[in-house]
């Protein structure tokens, strides 16, 4: 005769009843679908309304204020003098940045060199040009003839090969390119140095293990990997240089700002001509920002993959 504990079917049924939880009376509530309530950003809507109100107020003030002289702005917006000044500004920006990038690569490599002479020269260059105002450097280059009236080339114990007046060599164009280009090279050198330092040291060691020379692994291994880190700050420097070219107006170079000044010095319409210059600066910086965005996207393709 078998007891209840010995009966296999009753034992399994008792075990099942022991581990199965009882059904709750309100179990039907758990089967109901959940209602998703989207968050309400009241603060965002309030701040948006406040911002729109401020924009409308400023726009209304600018449109209705006759001192802005929008008719004069439209008259000179596409003036030949203004467009020529815009071309000078863009051309200066491209030439100065090309010179600065070439010099900055050399300075960055010298800064990272184990040779104390190269490293010390690069440090001294960066210290000097970052430590003095760029406007002072522009005026200094423009007045270089006060220190050296003539420029000559000769070999030791040989007749003079070439001589010229320093005023003929240091024109406003030359002074602008040297003053802004040499100063910008100091800032770009630090950007490129930081980009090179961002590449893992193992890449350099692997390139040396393959027998590559320093110029080879720097050109083929290090710089291509550093470029994605260098592009964004370089784009900012290009945009900043476009605006910094307005400083050349102090040395009588006919850039965009100087062209506007030349017009309002005759018409005495200062504010409208300054608005014209600001509009073209905004257009040029917007174009450069779009180009920078496309270049960054191109060099980020490998990371997205």
Burial of 151 (0-12, 13-18, 19+ CB in 10 A): middle
Q: Which residues of the chain have pLDDT under 70?
A: 1-32, 214, 301-305
How far apart CA 165 and CA 162 sit, in angstroms, is 11
pLDDT in tens, 185-196: 999 999 998 888
Give the pLDDT of residue 163. Answer: 79
Q: HEC string of 61-106? A: HHHHCHHHCHHHHHHHCCCHHHHHHHHHHHHHHHHHHHHHHHHHHH
pLDDT in tens, 227-264: 888 888 999 999 999 999 999 999 988 899 999 999 99
Average pLDDT of the chain, as a whole number: 83
Burial category of 299 from C-beta neighbours within 10 Å (exposed 0-12, middle 13-18, buried 19 and up): middle
Of 189, 154, 176, 143, nearest to 257 by C-alpha is 176
* Predicted pLDDT at 205: 73
What burial class does residue 199 get, using C-beta atoms within 10 Å of its C-beta: 0-12 exposed, 13-18 middle, 19+ buried?
middle
Alpha-carbon gap, residue 137 to 243, rounded angstroms: 17
**pLDDT at residue 224 in the model:** 77
Is residue 177 within 8 A of residue 95, CB to CB? The reply is: yes
Which pLDDT belongs to residue 27?
Answer: 52
State residue 31's pLDDT score: 65
Euclidean distance between CA atoms 16 and 10, whole angstroms: 10
Please report the pLDDT score of residue 206 as a whole number. Answer: 76
């Amino acid at each position: 005769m078998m007891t209840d504990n010995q009966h296999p079917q009753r034992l399994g049924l008792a075990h099942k009843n022991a581990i199965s939880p009882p059904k709750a009376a309100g179990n039907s509530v758990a089967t109901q679908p959940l209602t998703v309530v989207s968050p309400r950003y009241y603060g965002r809507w309030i701040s948006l309304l406040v911002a729109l109100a401020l924009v409308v107020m400023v726009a209304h003030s600018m449109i209705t204020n006759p001192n802005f002289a929008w008719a004069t702005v439209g008259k000179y917006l596409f003036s030949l003098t203004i467009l020529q000044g815009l071309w000078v500004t863009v051309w200066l920006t491209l030439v100065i940045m090309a010179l600065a990038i070439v010099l900055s690569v050399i300075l960055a490599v010298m800064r990272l060199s184990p040779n104390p002479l190269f490293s010390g020269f690069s440090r001294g260059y960066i210290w000097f040009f970052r430590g003095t105002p760029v406007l002072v450097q522009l005026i200094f280059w423009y007045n270089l003839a006060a220190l050296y009236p003539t420029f000559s080339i000769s070999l030791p114990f040989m007749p003079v090969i070439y001589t010229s007046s320093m005023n003929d060599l240091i024109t406003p164009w030359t002074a602008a390119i040297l003053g802004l280009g040499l100063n910008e090279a100091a800032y770009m050198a630090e950007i490129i140095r930081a980009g090179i330092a961002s590449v893992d040291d193992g890449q350099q060691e692997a390139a040396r293990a393959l027998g590559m020379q320093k110029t080879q692994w720097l050109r083929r291994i290090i710089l291509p990997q550093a470029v994605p880190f260098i592009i964004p700050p370089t784009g900012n420097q290009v945009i900043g240089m476009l605006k910094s070219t307005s400083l050349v107006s102090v040395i009588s170079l006919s850039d965009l700002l100087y062209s506007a000044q030349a017009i309002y010095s005759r018409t005495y319409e200062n504010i409208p001509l300054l608005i014209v210059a600001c509009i073209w600066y905004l257009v040029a910086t917007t174009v450069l920002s779009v180009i920078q965005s496309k270049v960054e996207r191109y060099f980020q393709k490998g990371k997205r993959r």
